[in-house]
Homo-oligomer: A and B are copies of this chain.
């Protein structure tokens, strides 16, 4: 395409002319400034160089595009007119800030230069203009330090040392106590540093401006900015370059009627509807951020200057109403006049996030739909884990990537073997490694948390920690581990943490703290219940719980579960009073023997069923019959071998011989691949007595509860079905037999539904046949995923899955989120085939994916009837199900 086809884009916009909704072009900061300006709020005038220019800068090999500076010069006139000052004019100087501003917030990642347009001559004019010589020199020294560091790349330490030295000389405890003479001396010394380190002083304001613009663009690709974007999955389609805002300076450092502050339109921790924030008198913005002086709470401003407070409050509320989000605002007061310098959506804690959207609905700011779409499932998840107590003020010593949720304290250990050793002694340990490997998995199990200095969200440590439910922080590059001396140091800080010392890690923020930091146990705020009741109005998917014991069923009901989608019956055989009997069932010589032994278990099983079914009175309960391979209930081969070895070493040969007999039986039952072995319905077919005993216990429980007036809705679910004939066989030879027996014994009708797990590939492929017999399907997506990939979750996650994620061969862990291309394709096929044969067949999902938001959205899309999740995940599922329904209507989730 020739030049003729090219359109000359406008590269620079004034705050008055740009469209505040075009965040992608203007960056978040720029768009916010335009908005405020156009809404009539007091904003220092300014202009924006667009993100497009940033891309052009990189395309041209880090060169500013031709004509850019000309356009800047033209637009600068706008600022000059508005302020009545002139850039570079010693008589009436205009100073500007040069700020970065990407389309998404990347806090602290990119650079800003304040007070630009100053030099030895101009500072004098500024002093006059300000009527405050000290403030002028304060601005000058700040400029020199910032410009020196950011634009010229000079080590900041040099400036700080000099500054501290001068303060000592003048006996100034704080920056504010340093008088103008001191500041002049600082300025001179700063200039020397720059000349020495950079070779020259940049005195021309326009050269300052050009270099600062370049520096801001360059900061977009600084290693830490690149890392941040990668870690937060900010891809070019979301943000591809930063804008540059050039804004007229206002000064918070001119005496006591000036100051600066940051404020949230609501409390970002609690969600209370009050201004929340702090301000600092006689200071520029960076002082607040840097925490050099202690600011005062914003509530004091109300007392000191109610008019100013009112103006701030009104502005904040106006912005909140327009943006429909809590606003995080920076402001400066120059000689009693307030200026809004920045507004952006506030980052809220999970409780605040929930409370504010519920309140905003009540205030008429948000619709219920909007409120729902502003809370992510991740916020709800955060409410389910222990969190750092934000009421306690502590600073992290280091920070990495939050890769598995929860906050936890423990003693530092540096090897997996030590983790195991120490945990055996009852100690709570946090395993600290540069990175973890498959060999470390036993140590990860033994730890309460994991911290690594390398690796990303999909590193081995991260994947395994999520899989086994341990809080985890990875890629914490601030720490340097010294394995030999069993300690780690924190970079740039004089902190050493030795083996056995306590640390606390926060799997939500990625922060690492020294010692034991108090954590808050999960609490479900009332507003969440209200929000989720709205979610229930919008969602189409039902939400049920996976629950095996009455306690879980109670929680699930409380959290809004509409039934039990999966009641596993295995643990009923594992309890101590049953295991021995069940072992004798397994080792029985024939069916009669087996039946006799099972008979003893039926009353115990019945009791279990009665307890949990009572809790779920009125709601459907799906009970899955026995699933695991039988040898799981016998001692392990290797354990028996050790025992035999020890007995022999002790000379107890007779006992050893006994054990050897058992070992022989166990060896025969042991399978090369138990997951693909004799389990599920395969056990039910070969030993129908087992299913019959379970069915009997279930139906007797139901019969007794019905007699007691309960409303029981029970479904019997068969696992691992690969062919409809299996389903028919165990119905005819076990379930129906038990059912007839029980009905005739109790003399009443015992209603039940009969269906199957869909967790075998062949069941999906022959869903039409299976649906002729099954009244309901429930996807077991964990097993299905294993079968579709032919790899087992445990082996994969411990051994090669992290590598796969790291290399990008897998884009996500298919055991966390449904693999739509493979597993999902099969599921969709299955649903369609089944519904073709039995239109009203009830289809749900009871794999762990049932609690994963993305997977829930997929389940909604393919028309499942419900998802079943672990009790706490019910809350997540209700919200995610509503999101899925709203998205279908074309609504979008907010970016959180």
B residues in contact with A790, CB < 8 Å:
675-676, 720, 722, 759-762, 783, 787
Question: Residue among A720, A760, A788 with the most chain B CB within 10 A?
Answer: A788
Q: Which of B673, B765, B789, B808 contacts A675 (CB 8 A)?
A: B673
Q: Is the CB of B761 within 8 A of A792?
A: no
**Given A792-B673, A795-B671, does the pair A807, B685 have CB atoms closer than 8 Å?**
yes
Q: Is the CB of B674 within 8 A of A672?
A: yes
Give the contact stretch, choosing among A5-13, A14-22, A636-644. A636-644
**Given A676-B675, A682-B800, does the pair A668, B439 have CB atoms closer than 8 Å?**
yes
Give bound CA distance, A810 to B766, whole Å. Answer: 14
Give bound CA distance, A671 to B795, whole Å. Answer: 6
Cβ proximity bits A780-811 to B, threshold 8 Å, 1 near / 0 not: 00010011111110111001100110011110
Count the A residues whose beta carbon is within 8 Å of the partner chain — how many?
Answer: 60
Q: Is A726 an interface residue (CB 8 A)?
A: yes
Residue of B nearest to A441 (CB): B668
Q: Is the CB of B648 within 8 A of A800?
A: no
Chain B's nearest CB lies how many Å from the CB of A558? 36
Q: Is A678 an interface residue (CB 8 A)?
A: yes
B residues in contact with A791, CB < 8 Å:
676-677, 682, 722
Q: Is the CB of B641 within 8 A of A803?
A: no
Give bound CA distance, A672 to B671, whole Å. Answer: 10
Q: Is the CB of A809 within 8 A of B766?
A: no
Q: Is the CB of B677 within 8 A of A674?
A: no
Q: Is A821 an interface residue (CB 8 A)?
A: yes
Chain B's nearest CB lies how many Å from the CB of A729? 6
Give bound CA distance, A334 to B59, whole Å. Answer: 109
Chain B's nearest CB lies how many Å from the CB of A882? 30
Q: Which of B673, B722, B788, B800 contacts A761 (CB 8 A)?
A: B788
Q: Is A826 an interface residue (CB 8 A)?
A: yes
Residue of B nearest to A665 (CB): B439
B residues in contact with A524, CB < 8 Å:
none
Q: Is A723 an interface residue (CB 8 A)?
A: yes
B residues in contact with A168, CB < 8 Å:
none
Chain B's nearest CB lies how many Å from the CB of A631? 11
B residues in contact with A349, CB < 8 Å:
none
Residue of B nearest to A789 (CB): B722
B residues in contact with A786, CB < 8 Å:
676
Cβ proximity bits A802-843 to B, threshold 8 Å, 1 near / 0 not: 011001111000000001011101100000000000000000
Q: Is the CB of B676 within 8 A of A792?
A: yes
Q: Is A725 an interface residue (CB 8 A)?
A: yes
B residues in contact with A641, CB < 8 Å:
638, 641-642, 645
B residues in contact with A759, CB < 8 Å:
790
Q: Is the CB of A787 within 8 A of B761?
A: yes
B residues in contact with A645, CB < 8 Å:
641, 644-645, 648
**Given A722-B790, A788-B761, does the pair A821, B678 have CB atoms closer than 8 Å?**
no
Give residues 642-665 of A contacting B (CB, 8 Å).
642, 644-645, 648-649
Cβ proximity bits A614-638 to B, threshold 8 Å, 1 near / 0 not: 0000000000000000000000011
Q: Which of B674, B762, B799 contacts A678 (CB 8 A)?
A: B799
Q: Is the CB of A792 within 8 A of B677?
A: yes
Q: Is A438 an interface residue (CB 8 A)?
A: yes
Q: Is A686 an interface residue (CB 8 A)?
A: yes
Q: Is the CB of B685 within 8 A of A804?
A: yes
Cβ proximity bits A671-713 to B, threshold 8 Å, 1 near / 0 not: 1111111100010011000000000000000000000000000
- Taking Cβ atoms with an 8 Å cutoff, the residues of A that contact B are 438-439, 637-638, 641-642, 644-645, 648-649, 668, 671-678, 682, 685-686, 720, 722-723, 725-726, 729, 759-762, 765-766, 769, 783, 786-792, 794-796, 799-800, 803-804, 807-810, 819, 821-823, 825-826
